[in-house]
Amino acid sequence: MLFQHIRELYNYRNLIWVLAWVEFKQRYKNSVLGYFWSLLEPLMMLGVLYIVFSNLMRIQVEHYQLFLLQGIIMWNFFCRATSMGLSAIVGKPHLVQKVYFPRDILVISGCTTALLMGIFESVIFIGFMLFFQIPLSVNIIVLPVVIFLFFIIALGASLTLAALNTYYRDIQYIWAVVLQIGFFASPILYPLTIFPPLLFRILSYSPIAQVLYLARDVTLYSKVPNLASFSYAIVISIIVLGTGYAIFSRLEPKFAEEL
């Protein structure tokens, strides 16, 4: 079953890629600055947040500007992936009702678009790394794996959201609120240590927090990835993706009717 589906998806790789590419390209098609926007947006966000949090809140973190930027880029990826995933089915009724291909392709390509945007935004991050002359270590080779796990988590969440949203459009409003809470409950602007011990422990269970820690450790701080965090992220990503597929494949047969 599983391998058969993976093979089927492999046969549709061109479709996944084209759908992702179209979405990516379309974002900037009718704007004057084009792709430049995708660099300007996180840069402006970084500027504002940096001023607020380093001066007013007096956060003490090593390489804070990079800590913040990496957090913003990765969080942006997660927000976009799940938001695009959420509307992957509902937003493309023609592709669901007039042609047939496995519907998870729409969700996968939505997450891929978000990944493309994230990779593109990382150009600024690399620029900052060079500018501040942050030394890299061998540990950086773990970063693609961490990003892959993050992608899997986002995909699993997106599959769940896309399927549920087809039946109950309320999901999109609920998710918008969840994302807002998530922004402040994750170590994006500040390390979770600023919270009281109990809250700190609870929030540390968030897979997003663990992924952010891992990513920063191997890029900014030249640390060996924490094995506990790493195993935790792997286990969670498998659970999230499994749950996503279980819900998605159960609801998929009726998608065309529900739209």
**Site residues (CB under 8 A) for another protein?**
14-15, 18, 22, 25-26, 29-30, 94-101, 253-254, 256-257
Closest CA to 38 of 20, 53, 55, 26: 26
Q: Which is nearer to another protein, 117 or 251 (CB)?
A: 251
Q: How many residues are recorded in the chain?
A: 259
Least distance from another protein to the Cβ atom of residue 61, Å:
42
Q: Which is nearer to another protein, 95 or 142 (CB)?
A: 95
Least distance from another protein to the Cβ atom of residue 94, Å:
5
Both tokens assigned to 200: 């700190």
Least distance from another protein to the Cβ atom of residue 57, Å:
42
Both tokens assigned to 189: 């602007």
Tokens 């422990």 belong to which residue? Answer: 201
**CA distances (Å), origin 44, targets 50, 52, 179, 190, 219:** 10, 13, 20, 18, 22
Q: Which is nearer to another protein, 26 or 137 (CB)?
A: 26
Least distance from another protein to the Cβ atom of residue 70, Å:
32
Q: Which is nearer to another protein, 3 or 100 (CB)?
A: 100
Closest CA to 240 of 83, 72, 19, 82: 82
Q: Is the dihedral of CA 124, 114, 18, 244 positive or negative?
A: positive
